[in-house]
Amino acid sequence: MYIQYIERERIQHLLIKGFAALWFGTVGWTLVIVTIGLVEWRVWEVSDLSVITSGLAWVGIWRVCFYSHAPILSDNQIMFCQRIRLSESFTPPEIVAAQVLMLVALTLGLAGNASVVYGLRNVYFGLNKSKPIRLAFSSGGVLLILTGASALVPVCWNLNSVVNNQTISFPAEFRMPSAPVNQSIGPGIIVGIFASILLVFSGMVFLSYRAPVFMPSLEIKPVTSALLAAFSL
């Protein structure tokens, strides 16, 4: 009975830690989606204000955008944007890698979070088969770490391009200069780095899972109270 009580307490602790790690993984995966959608990966400062009237242009992995007062916008446009396609010859390798790897990260993150949710469900309802639980947490942890790595590689590659002030030979229809006066890091890179850290941390937590000796069924009320107490600190 004493051993079962210890194991019960351990399972409650595992659930609290697991739900916290799942929260980190879910937030990290959500931030990957935000990173994919942000156009402000690289901020170009330009000297010619005749077209780019704000003096700033945003280079993302899918689009290039800037505000302009020049007669190049249609009536329903608030900024001028052009798409960056994977097949275009001017697209630099760091943006090609970002377009591919960020979508890979999106898929891996969804699978990883689904796997750990399945594992936590089995622990919560006290299912006695520990092997599927270990497999769910291990595979989910690996997938979450791979998600973080898949997002971090293109983010760091573009960060390196900003630091070295590397240019992009945009076509004439983009209305972009041949080179910026200066480049700075945009929110897309910052959010991407933060998302990668959360995902890797979450994956490492699930990889550290050790199965209890017993898997007693847990009542909902004590577990819920423990979770509320943990997250209210």
- For the four alpha carbons of 182, 186, 190 and 196, in that order, the dihedral sign comes to negative
Domain count, the chain: 1
For residues 145 and 209, the model is more confident at: 145
In this prediction, residues 138-153 reach a mean pLDDT of 96
Question: Which structure tokens are listed for 66?
Answer: 């800037």
d(CA 28, CA 151): 10
Specify the pLDDT at position 102. 97
Q: Residue 216: which domain range?
A: 14-223
Whether 228 maps to a domain, the answer reads no
Whether 183 maps to a domain, the answer reads yes
Specify the pLDDT at position 11. 61
Q: Which amino acid is at 180?
A: P
The residue assigned the tokens 């400062």 is 45
Q: Is the pLDDT of residue 217 over 50?
A: no
Whether 229 maps to a domain, the answer reads no
Whether 56 maps to a domain, the answer reads yes
Q: Is the pLDDT of residue 208 over 80?
A: yes
Q: What is the mean pLDDT of the chain?
A: 83
If pLDDT is split at 50, 70 and 90, which confidence band does 195 have? very high
Q: Is the pLDDT of residue 213 over 60?
A: no
Whether 231 maps to a domain, the answer reads no
Q: Which ranges of the chain does DSSP label H, i.e. alpha helix? A: 2-37, 93-124, 130-163, 187-207, 220-231
Whether 3 maps to a domain, the answer reads no
Over residues 67-83, the pLDDT tens digits come to 877 776 666 667 888 89
Over residues 82-134, the pLDDT tens digits come to 899 988 989 999 999 999 999 999 999 999 999 999 888 887 776 555 677 78
Residue 184 Cα distances to 57, 110, 168, 211, angstroms: 11, 31, 15, 47
> CATH code at 79?
1.20.140.150
If pLDDT is split at 50, 70 and 90, which confidence band does 219 have? very low
214 touches 1 (CB < 8 A): no
pTM metric for this prediction: 0.81
Over residues 37-96, the pLDDT tens digits come to 999 999 999 988 888 888 899 999 999 998 877 776 666 667 888 899 988 989 999 999
Top-ranked range on mean pLDDT: pick from 113-127, 132-146, 200-214:
132-146
Whether 53 maps to a domain, the answer reads yes
Q: Which amino acid is at 131?
A: K
Question: Which structure tokens are listed for 119?
Answer: 């594992």
According to DSSP, the β-strands at 182-185 and 42-45 are antiparallel
Whether 23 maps to a domain, the answer reads yes
